[in-house]
Structure 1
Amino acid sequence: MDLDVFAAAHRTEWDRLDTLVRRRRRLSGSEVDELVDLYQRVSTHLSMVRSSGQDPGLVGYLSGLVARARSAVTGAHESSWRDASRFFTETFPAVLYRLRWWWIAAGLGTVAFSAALAAWIANDPQVLAAMGTPEEIRAYVENDFANYYVEHPGASFAAQVWTNNAWAATQALIFGVFLCLPTVYVLVLNGANLGVAAGMMFAHGKGDVFLGLIIPHGLLELTAVFVAAGVGLKLGWTLIAPGPRPRLRALGEEARPALAVALGLVVVLFVSGLIEGLVTGWVHITWLRIGIGVAAELLFLAYVFIVGRAAHNRGVSGDIAAAPQTAPVAG
């Protein structure tokens, strides 16, 4: 094939396609039809030129033209910044609000369990003695508990905390699909750790130290874990009781919003990790560090119950945006 002759014969079509692509936002109906027709023709031209292997420059030009035409025909994707904005102003908070009763129940249940365990340990000397030797308990109460927050540089400690908490939240969320049992285990484990620490501290008159160091980061951190657990429980319960939907379809429809929660919690846990690494052990004014933690928690709750409720009332579900008529599901 003589590429010079071929290019001369079709140059007018290529130039016209380029013009239509540049004016794609102001095209009439007939011009849109012309755009689609030229896109198909030039795609064929590209295939013919590429198979000849004689002119890489012409192949590159046509490849770029066809790519831009394809974007114009199929609809260019919105900018990633707009996607991110929509995710954090609509998708993530709407899912949090829709599933609020699940994670609120998970949180209240875990806190009640921790409080009961702490009270048992603090008021029963035999249970307290089972926690360790008197020397070990004294070292923990007098030094180890508080030193945990300052024994590593703040930035590296924040990163470590973020990673650990993200892993715990991921376990609580993803493993809930196994009929809720692994999620319940994660909640029980976290509640037991919190209750044991609180019980030992309160038993030795260090309750103020415990609350002063737990509240700053713990409010937001535990809320994030409760959110993950609540979503995990919802996934597991969907398998147990899917309602009128086929079981795997119901799971697919709940799993997609769950992924949005998992992504959003990465940011929430990053904030709580920063507070734990840079505030809890390093801000020595108790009311100030507690105030920072309370403010972070109130902002999160306002985010859910103001921004999330508004998005939920607009019909945002957290499922695939602009999903096809038959959205992909599990199975």
Structure 2
Amino acid sequence: MDIDVFVAAHQHEWQRLDALCKRRGRLSGTEADELVALYQRAATHLSLVRSAAPDPALVGRLSALVAAGRSAVTGARSSGWRDAARYFTRSFPAALYRTSSWWMPTMLVCWVVAALAGWWVAENPHVQASLAAPEEIRQLTRPGGDFETYYSSEPAAAFATQVWVNNAWVAAQCLAFGAFLGIPVLYVLAVNILNVAASAGLMASVGRLDVFFGLILPHGLLELTVVFIAAGAGLRLGWTVIDPGPRPRARALAEEGRAAIGMVVGLGVVLLISGAIEGFVTPSGLPTWARVGIGVLAEVVFLVYVFVLGRRVAAQGELGDVEAADRTDVAPAAA
């Protein structure tokens, strides 16, 4: 594309659109129709320039013009409770459901790896010795030892906040690292899963695996599910870099990236719930069956949210992206 020729051919349209945008609210019916038509044409011009001849100056000029045109056509919109409600009833569950083909296998593989690694640690004293000194292992695994007292080592509110921040950081890393072909995501997953497996193996080696599950399951089911979701979304984003499908790579990355990063808020809320369970339920005096039951209930409710509500809104065309009015206008792409 010859930029100079393109600009010369459409300059008068852009100038007319700019003039109409500045007069919005005082337009006749004919002028309003003209504004809409010119805005749509300018959006198409912007998409063409970005894909065929990404001149920074022209892209910036057209981006500002298209933004002004969108504001004039649709009117200014302020965020509020409607946006929050839409996010938690449509965007977030749809994003969870759409990425389930990635995070469900990720979760299954991680559980298998954790089980094998835990068994390996439990059955091999030399592996245990490589993890910690014998006295440290005894201090960790004995009744009333470090593993049990960890959950009551601080006031419940402070502890819940601490684990929430830590887990939210892990989930955010998984989502953000997806842009690097997903490779760092695998490292983050491995570190967290092997830490769980090592604790399980050490507790199993002294016949206290029941204590391990009694303390891990109340909060761990929901907490680890969120980590697997973040990892699956990150891996999906990494694969989009390799194979964007029928969409232009930049557009595919923008759409999938917005959906992935948009999940941070929702996953943070879910982790807040698991953190509250870890801070208030796990170390509580409730019987083991009650504590585990609370964790199982929280997990079931979340999975129903994903696979019932998420599936429904995804079938209606919801992508987990921002609203159409807030997206960049693009030209159609051939399949």
Q: What's the TM-score once normalised by structure 2's chain length?
A: 0.74
The answer for the alignment partner of 1:89 in structure 2 is 89
The answer for the alignment partner of 1:80 in structure 2 is 80
Instruction: Give the whole-Å Cα distance in 2 for the aligned partners of 1:285 and 1:309.
Output: 36
Secondary structure at the counterpart of residue 130 of structure 1? helix
The answer for the alignment partner of 1:177 in structure 2 is 179
Secondary structure at the counterpart of residue 153 of structure 2? coil
Structure 1 residue 324: deviation in Å?
A: 5.1
The answer for the alignment partner of 1:304 in structure 2 is 306
Instruction: Give the whole-Å Cα distance in 2 for the aligned partners of 1:201 and 1:299.
Output: 30
Aligned sequence identity (%) = 52
State how many pairs are aligned.
Answer: 265
Instruction: Give the whole-Å Cα distance in 2 for the aligned partners of 1:197 and 1:162.
Output: 20
Secondary structure at the counterpart of residue 77 of structure 1? coil
Structure 1 residue 124: deviation in Å?
A: 1.5
**Please, what is the CA RMSD of the aligned residues?**
2.3
Instruction: Give the whole-Å Cα distance in 2 for the aligned partners of 1:234 and 1:253.
Output: 12
Distance 1:255 1:79, change over 3 A: closer
Structure 1 residue 102: deviation in Å?
A: 0.6
Structure 1 residue 166: deviation in Å?
A: 0.5
User: Match for 2:131: what amino acid?
Assistant: M
Query: Which string of whole-angstrom CA distances, capped at 9 and with x for unpartnered residues, describes residues 41-96 of structure 1?
Result: xxxxxxxxxxxxxxxxxxxxxxxxxxxxxx99743536611111111011000110
Distance 1:240 1:163, change over 3 A: same
Instruction: Give the whole-Å Cα distance in 1 for the aligned partners of 2:233 and 2:312.
Output: 20
Return 5+ residue gaps in structure 1 as ranges: 1-20, 22-28, 37-70
Q: Which of 212, 225, 228 is the equivalent residue of 1:226?
A: 228
The answer for the alignment partner of 1:276 in structure 2 is 278
The answer for the alignment partner of 1:211 in structure 2 is 213
Return 5+ residue gaps in structure 2 as ranges: 1-24, 36-70
The answer for the alignment partner of 1:326 in structure 2 is 330
Instruction: Give the whole-Å Cα distance in 1 for the aligned partners of 2:131 and 2:328.
Output: 57
Distance 1:72 1:242, change over 3 A: closer
The answer for the alignment partner of 1:313 in structure 2 is 315
The answer for the alignment partner of 1:236 in structure 2 is 238
Q: Which has the larger radius of gyration?
A: 1
Query: Which string of whole-angstrom CA distances, capped at 9 and with x for unpartnered residues, describes residues 117-173 of structure 1?
Result: 000011122212222222111100010001100010000000000000000111111
Are the aligned partners of 2:91 and 2:322 in contact in 1 as well (CA < 8 Å)?
no
Distance 1:73 1:235, change over 3 A: closer
The answer for the alignment partner of 1:166 in structure 2 is 168
Are the aligned partners of 2:185 and 2:231 in contact in 1 as well (CA < 8 Å)?
yes
Structure 1 residue 291: deviation in Å?
A: 0.6
Is 1:188 aligned to residue 190 of structure 2? yes
Distance 1:150 1:249, change over 3 A: same
The answer for the alignment partner of 2:63 in structure 1 is none
Are the aligned partners of 2:107 and 2:228 in contact in 1 as well (CA < 8 Å)?
yes
Instruction: Give the whole-Å Cα distance in 2 for the aligned partners of 1:89 and 1:77.
Output: 20
Structure 1 residue 325: deviation in Å?
A: 3.2
User: Match for 2:330: what amino acid?
Assistant: T
Query: Which string of whole-angstrom CA distances, capped at 9 and with x for unpartnered residues, describes residues 209-238 of structure 1?
Result: 000000000000000000000000011111
Structure 1 residue 182: deviation in Å?
A: 0.4
More moved, 125-134 vs 280-289: 125-134
Distance 1:283 1:260, change over 3 A: farther
Instruction: Give the whole-Å Cα distance in 2 for the aligned partners of 1:235 and 1:295.
Output: 30
Q: Which of 199, 202, 218 is the equivalent residue of 1:200?
A: 202
Instruction: Give the whole-Å Cα distance in 2 for the aligned partners of 1:171 and 1:161.
Output: 15
